[in-house]
């Protein structure tokens, strides 16, 4: 049975007014069943029920943090599990969604990387996270206005499905998000960055998880560094900026004694010269079994100060939901069969 959410809004069943009604039920009101779509004829609802699957999830679990953020653990129809994080702020509601079960990038400091790779998510399984979170928080789906593809998985290695999901999110008949409020994060897949630059009708923002300015350190903590060198990543980033004119965010997880030396801050500043960018310094979110620790507050501040003194636009991004295990993969990692399809 086909998942309805996998379809682009322009390809939805029904025509004209009835299609708009169906889209409003799915994306405007977040209807969980076809029976709830009471202004559609009963025969139409029955036909939809027999043809399409509306819910991509078998089970949804939540862990709530004292800071208001909520970790969602989804069990997919095949039993695999993945996660999303809902982060409410005073001026916006943000969701961090996953694009894969597990992740093939295997960043050494990341809980998701420790899971290994399960499979790619379909467009509907990506978009469905937004609808499910909205339902769990008792808000309309269109109230979630900020979205980041920064959850489990490497979005650039599930490129086509992620791009279709992005187009659904932006479509005025679906969630109608602003392209300026949707960000795609990549560990540095150069060919994917170049492909994204060519998506003229999309216009979403780009974040690159650099995490180290020198090859030796980056290859130690990010295995994909063996394939995509820093030089290749920066070349692709500059091409992206030349084509789009958009600022690029550089994500930099602060690892104690690994990538937080001041000589690395100097090298990072040199690397970013001439690029319109913003650096997010991220204290590592600890997880059981990790061999890494977050840099000290003093070292983070010294790193920040040096970058700022050298003209780099920089901030420190504090992780939310630490008490809820909100680092990517933490909840699913506790379920040993979650990535293989054996989860219940």
Tell me: the pLDDT tens digits for 45-94?
999 999 999 999 999 999 998 889 999 999 999 999 999 999 998 888 99
143 is annotated as an active-site residue: no
pLDDT of 343 reads 36
210 marked as part of a ligand binding site: yes
> According to the annotation, is 118 in a ligand binding site?
no
- Residue found under tokens 């025509």: 15
Instruction: For residue 233, give the H/E element and its range.
Output: helix 230-244
Measuring CA to CA, which residue among 287, 288, 300, 214 is closest to residue 253? 300
Instruction: Give me the pLDDT at residue 334, please.
Output: 54
Asked about 83 being catalytic, the answer comes back as yes
Q: Is 333 annotated as a binding residue?
A: no
**Degrees to nearest 5, angle at CA 26 with 25 and 28:** 65
User: Rounded distance, CA 82 to CA 99, Å?
Assistant: 9
Beta-carbon contacts of residue 65 (< 8 Å; ≥ 6 apart): 71, 320, 321, 322, 323, 324, 326
| Beta-carbon-side half-sphere exposure of residue 305 (alpha carbons within 13 Å) | 8
From 96, 125, 251, 328, the catalytic residue: 328
Query: What pLDDT score was predicted for residue 329?
Result: 47
Of 191, 136, 199, which is closest to residue 164 (Cα–Cα)?
199
Check the annotation: does 96 bind a ligand: no
Q: What is the DSSP letter of 196?
A: H
Residue 340 known to bind ligand: no
Q: Is 211 annotated as a binding residue?
A: yes
**pLDDT in the model for residue 331:** 52
110 is in an annotated binding site: yes
Q: In sequence order, which residues have a C-beta less than 8 Å from that of residue 120 and are 6 or more positions away? A: 99, 100, 153, 157, 158, 161
pLDDT the model gives residue 110:
86
The pLDDT of residue 17: 96
Could you tell me which residues are beta bridge partners of residue 75?
59, 81
The SS3 of residue 149 is strand
Q: CA neighbours within 13 Å on the CB side: how many for 295? A: 24
pLDDT beneath 50: ranges in the chain = 326, 329, 342-344
- The reply to whether 178 sits in an annotated binding site is no
Residue 157's nearest CA partner among 117, 127, 111, 128 is: 117
Catalytic residue, candidates 83, 96, 125, 251: 83
Phi, psi dihedrals of residue 98, rounded to the nearest 5°: -95, 155
pTM, whole model, 2 decimals? Answer: 0.92
CB 260 within 8 A of CB 299: yes
pLDDT value at residue 224: 76
Residue 111 has a pLDDT of 80
């Amino acid at each position: 049975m086909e998942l309805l959410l996998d379809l682009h809004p322009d390809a939805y069943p029904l025509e004209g007014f009835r299609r708009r009604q169906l889209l409003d039920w799915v994306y405007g009101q977040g209807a969980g069943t076809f029976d709830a779509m009471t202004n559609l004829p009963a025969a139409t609802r029955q036909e939809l029920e027999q043809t399409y699957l509306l819910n991509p999830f078998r089970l949804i679990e939540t862990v709530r943090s004292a800071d208001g953020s909520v970790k969602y653990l989804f069990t997919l129809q095949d039993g695999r599990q993945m996660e999303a994080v809902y982060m409410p702020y005073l001026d916006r509601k943000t969701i961090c969604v996953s694009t894969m079960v597990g992740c093939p990038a295997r960043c050494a400091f990341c809980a998701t990387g420790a899971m290994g790779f399960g499979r790619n998510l379909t467009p509907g399984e990506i978009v469905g996270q937004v609808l499910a979170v909205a339902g769990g928080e008792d808000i309309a789906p269109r109230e979630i206005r900020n979205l980041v593809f920064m959850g489990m998985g490497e979005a650039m290695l599930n490129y086509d499905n992620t791009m279709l999901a992005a187009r659904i999110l932006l479509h005025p008949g679906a969630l109608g998000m602003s392209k300026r409020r949707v960000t795609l994060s990549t560990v540095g897949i150069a060919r994917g960055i170049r492909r994204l630059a060519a998506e003229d009708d999309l216009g979403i923002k780009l974040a690159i998880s650099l995490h180290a300015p020198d090859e030796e350190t980056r290859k130690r903590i990010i295995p994909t560094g063996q394939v995509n060198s820093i030089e290749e990543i920066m070349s692709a980033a500059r091409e992206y900026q030349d084509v789009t004119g958009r600022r690029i965010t550089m994500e930099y997880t602060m690892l104690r004694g690994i990538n937080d030396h001041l000589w690395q801050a100097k090298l990072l500043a040199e690397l970013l010269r001439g690029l319109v960018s913003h650096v997010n310094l991220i204290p590592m979110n600890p997880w059981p079994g990790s061999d890494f620790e977050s840099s000290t507050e003093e070292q983070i501040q010294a790193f920040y100060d040096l970058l700022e003194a050298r003209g780099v636009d920089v901030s420190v991004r504090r992780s939310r939901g630490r008490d809820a295990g909100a680092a990517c993969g933490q909840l699913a990692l506790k379920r040993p069969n979650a990535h293989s399809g054996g989860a219940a």
